[in-house]
């Protein structure tokens, strides 16, 4: 992965590949946070159920 990123940086001579990687990381974190926020009530309900 690092070699591919290094080749992209060498070829483009800009920070665009790094921005793409950061954008995908940020999007992934946003989706994960949204899922946890949306499922908060359901997870609380499951945790309170006694078997």
18: Cβ contacts below 8 Å, ≥ 6 apart: 5, 9
> What's the count of helices (H) and strands (E) in the chain, helices before strands?
3, 0
- CA distances 29 to 1, 7, 25, 34, 41, Å, are 20, 26, 6, 8, 20
Biggest distance spanned by C-alpha atoms of the chain: 60
Query: What are the pLDDT digits (tens) for 21-48?
Result: 899 999 999 999 999 999 999 999 999 9
Q: Is the pLDDT reported for residue 19 higher than 90?
A: no
For residues 4-26, give the mean pLDDT. 82
Global pTM exceeds 0.85: no
Per-residue model confidence (pLDDT) at position 37: 96
Residue found under tokens 């609380």: 44
């Amino acid at each position: 992965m690092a070699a591919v990123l290094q080749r992209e940086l060498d070829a483009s001579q800009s920070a665009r590949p790094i921005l793409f990687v950061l954008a995908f990381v940020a999007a992934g974190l946003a989706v994960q946070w949204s899922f946890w926020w949306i499922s908060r009530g359901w997870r609380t309900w499951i945790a309170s159920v006694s078997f």
